[in-house]
Amino acid sequence: MPAYGRPPAYAQPVLRILDARTGQPVPAAPARRGLTRIEARASGLDPTALRVLLTADLLVRALELGGTPVWTILTAPHRHAELRAAATTLSIRPFEDGHDLASGLGEAQAIHVTAEGTDVPGGGPVVRVAPVEWTGELSEGRGAGWSSAGDVDTSPGAAGSPGGTAEPGVPGQAEPASESAPGRASESAPGRTSEPAFRPVPGRTSEPAAHPALPALLADPAALRLALLAVPRGAPVRLDAAALEEAAGWLAGRRRDVAGWARQPSRPVPDEVRARLRSAWEDDLDLPAVLEVLRAVASAPGLSDGARFETYVYADRLLALDLARDLGSLA
């Protein structure tokens, strides 16, 4: 077979993850085109469980971008309906039930995603996520119980998101960005209602109580998703209203930029930029590095607006932050 030179880095589906069982990096899809099962194991309805579901979703998206078929399941002892509703709110792909494990689909590998300190039976690599802590204030009366997806309107959105007058840097980054952002976080999500994605209901005593901070966390799902993506998976996350406001401000600015870039002729994603993005997320799902690439692309000299637009849209296939949402909006 003749040699045609080294193929582009983005053409090689080589996603590797750190296996918590062995402490060694392993391929997420060892068999080419072989089915990989992603199992999200959530022990409750709390911020850490949401991070587990999000990490599983990122694995699914990264594997699919590399051409690997994926089967995802949710294993949880309690609150399946609420967990599924929360996942939908966070733009997480649907899960199948854990009891379908023995359906005989013949997967090549099973990857388990779970929180730190959780035992995982059976074989296959284990991906662990560090805990998420809510350090902000809580509204009175929240946390008694939670309605299921069928009990309330689970459409995302709520009023009262904290506002900001200047756009911060990418959440999780040390240095601030220099450009200014739109005003309040609520401006980046028009059409939101005053109903939260979840609300407490009384009378549920047979299951563990859900975390009381979930209404605040899910009030702006995209901001929560970004705030979690901006911190390395193995590092604990401490969230409060200011952290979510920072994430909402970054999103508002980037959506504004993408809408502006879309007015110029489209250009392909530069090979070097695509390779940097793929190298970042294929290195144990290093999402902070992906966000740093996007930050650099936004201000890179000599790069056309059309290429910036295509780069952000391409990366959003993994990030799922709806970065192109404001296309066609008035300046």
85-113 pLDDT per residue, tens: 999 999 999 998 755 554 445 667 899 99
C-beta neighbour count of 181 within 10 angstroms: 23
The token pair that represents 65 in the structure block? 């971008």
Query: What is the spatial distance between Cα 202 and Cα 31, in angstroms, rounded to a whole number?
Result: 49
Query: What is the spatial distance between Cα 54 and Cα 114, in angstroms, rounded to a whole number?
Result: 11
Rounded to whole angstroms, what are the CA distances from 23 to 63, 128, 146, 184, 280?
21, 11, 37, 43, 19
314 phi/psi in degrees, rounded to 5: -65, -50
Please give the pLDDT value at position 1.
34
Q: Is-above-0.95 flag for pTM?
A: no
Rounded to whole angstroms, what are the CA distances from 322 to 48, 170, 175, 230?
23, 16, 24, 16
Is-contact 125 112, C-beta < 8 A?
Answer: yes
Please give the pLDDT value at position 105.
56
Per-block average pLDDT, block size 10, for the chain (331 residues)?
38 80 90 81 94 98 91 91 94 79 63 93 92 83 36 36 40 40 36 43 61 94 98 96 97 97 96 96 97 97 96 98 89 54
Instruction: Name the DSSP class of 91.
Output: T
Give all strands (DSSP E) within the chain, no chain letters.
16-19, 24-27, 36-41, 70-75, 96-97, 109-115, 126-129, 132-134, 237-239
Which amino acid makes up residue 184? R
Buried b (16+ CB within 10 A) or exposed e, 61-86: bbbbbbebebbbbbbbeebbebbbbb
